[in-house]
């Protein structure tokens, strides 16, 4: 997630990055919710297989999206990643609100498209309650782990491994985290709009987002402990921002 800087004028560069984040989140959310609906249809009597199918499709989508969009926007696809990027001094804070807005809008649009593709109403508020102390703890751990994977790689100059590493981590976290590893406030909000396998009710979503923020802070602390300094000078884009 955190790739090479874009080329072009500063304004056009930022617009291109925000478009990339919107499109990436749209496709990611459509993959998460759409594969969940498909899994319910294909394996209606086995929740374990449904979850595995959902995890596999999500991991594949993440790999492709990060590989394609990292050179454009960094392929954050997640407000937590954008926030930590700014905390670590790799991106100016003024860009974070735009990134977060594009990510939330993209995830909402992707969920609506997934609903429509499978013949569901475009918006159906989820009734699936997921919040518990165990699930909140799982979200803290899953989010902290994601932040660690992304930024330890980035600090050691190994961003080229991010697509495979993030996809593998999220695919695994679907199965090792009791919450199924949402680890992303934008996708969490989007999934409130689908009353299907991948949905989450708004109250649970609020609790998950708080846990994700805690996980983001914990992950940032972990990154600083494991990789206290950037091992190479980061490349600046034309706005003076870090990639």
Mutual angle of helices 47-73 and 10-42, in 10-degree steps: 170
pLDDT at 39 over 70: yes
Helix (H, G, I), strand (E, B) or coil at 61: helix
Stretch among 124-128, 223-227, 228-232 having the lowest mean pLDDT: 228-232
150-176 mean pLDDT: 96
Residue closest to 28 by CA, chosen among 165, 211, 183 = 183
Distances in whole angstroms, Cα of residue 76 to Cα of each of 5, 115, 173, 178: 13, 24, 18, 24
pLDDT digits (tens, 9 = 90+) for 141-153: 999 999 999 999 9
- Structure tokens given for 69: 């969009």
Q: Domains of the chain, with CATH numbers?
A: 10-226 (1.20.1080.10)
Helix (H, G, I), strand (E, B) or coil at 62: helix
In DSSP notation, 155-219 reads HTT-GGGHHHHHHHHHHHHHHHSTT-----HHHHHHGGG--STT---HHHHHHHHHHHHHHHHHH
Spatial contact of 240 and 166, defined as CB atoms under 8 Å apart? no
**What span, in angstroms and rounded, lies between the C-alpha atoms of 22 and 218?**
27
**What span, in angstroms and rounded, lies between the C-alpha atoms of 63 and 212?**
21
Cβ count near 33 (within 10 Å)? 31
**What span, in angstroms and rounded, lies between the C-alpha atoms of 174 and 57?**
11
- Given this model, what pLDDT does residue 10 score? 55
| Max avg pLDDT among 4-8, 76-80, 224-228 | 76-80
Helices (H) and strands (E) in the chain, counts: 8, 0
- Given this model, what pLDDT does residue 238 score? 40
pLDDT at 11 over 70: no
106-119 mean pLDDT: 98
The gap from C-alpha 111 to its chain's centroid, in whole angstroms, comes to 14
How much is the mean pLDDT over the chain?
A: 91
pLDDT at 207 over 60: yes
pLDDT at 6 over 70: no
- Given this model, what pLDDT does residue 229 score? 75
């Amino acid at each position: 997630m955190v790739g090479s800087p874009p080329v072009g004028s500063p304004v056009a560069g930022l617009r291109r990055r925000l478009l990339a984040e919107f499109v990436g989140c749209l496709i990611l959310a459509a993959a998460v919710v759409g594969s969940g609906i498909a899994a319910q249809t294909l394996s209606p009597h086995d929740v374990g297989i449904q979850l595995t199918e959902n995890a596999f499709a999500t991991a594949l989508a993440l790999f492709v999206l990060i590989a394609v969009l990292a050179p454009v926007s960094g392929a954050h696809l997640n407000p937590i990643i954008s926030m930590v990027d700014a905390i670590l001094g790799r991106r100016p804070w003024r860009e974070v609100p735009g990134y977060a807005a594009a990510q939330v809008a993209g995830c909402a649009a992707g969920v609506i498209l997934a609903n429509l593709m499978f013949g569901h109403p475009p918006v159906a508020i989820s009734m699936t309650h997921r919040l518990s102390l165990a699930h909140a703890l799982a979200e803290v751990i899953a989010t902290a782990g994601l932040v660690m994977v992304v930024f330890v790689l980035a600090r050691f100059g190994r961003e080229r491994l991010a697509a495979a590493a993030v996809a593998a981590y999220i695919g695994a976290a679907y199965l090792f985290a009791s919450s199924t590893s949402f680890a992303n406030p934008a996708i969490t909000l989007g999934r409130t709009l689908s009353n299907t396998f991948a949905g989450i009710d708004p109250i649970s979503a609020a609790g998950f987002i708080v846990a994700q923020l805690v996980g983001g802070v914990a992950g940032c602390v972990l990154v600083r402990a494991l990789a206290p300094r950037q091992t190479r000078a980061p490349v600046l884009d034309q706005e003076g921002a870090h990639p």
